[in-house]
Structure 1
Amino acid sequence: MNNNYPEKTCHIDRLVTHPKLVAAALSGQKTQQRRDGIYAYPGETFELEGTTFTVTAVERQSLGDMTDADAQAEGYPNLDAYKDLILRMHAGMTWNNDSLVWVHSFKRND
Structure 2
Amino acid sequence: MTTHCDFGASLNDYLRDRLVSGIRSESAKQKLLSEASLTFEQATKIVLSMEQAEKSAAALSIGRPERIHQMSSVVARRGRFDNGAQHSKTHSQTARSDNAGAAWRGAGGTAKV
Instruction: Specify which structure has the bigger relative contact order, considering alpha-carbon pairs within 8 angstroms and separated by 6 or more residues.
Output: 1
Q: Which has the higher strand share?
A: 1
TM norm structure 1: 0.19
| Higher relative helix content | 2
Larger radius of gyration: 2
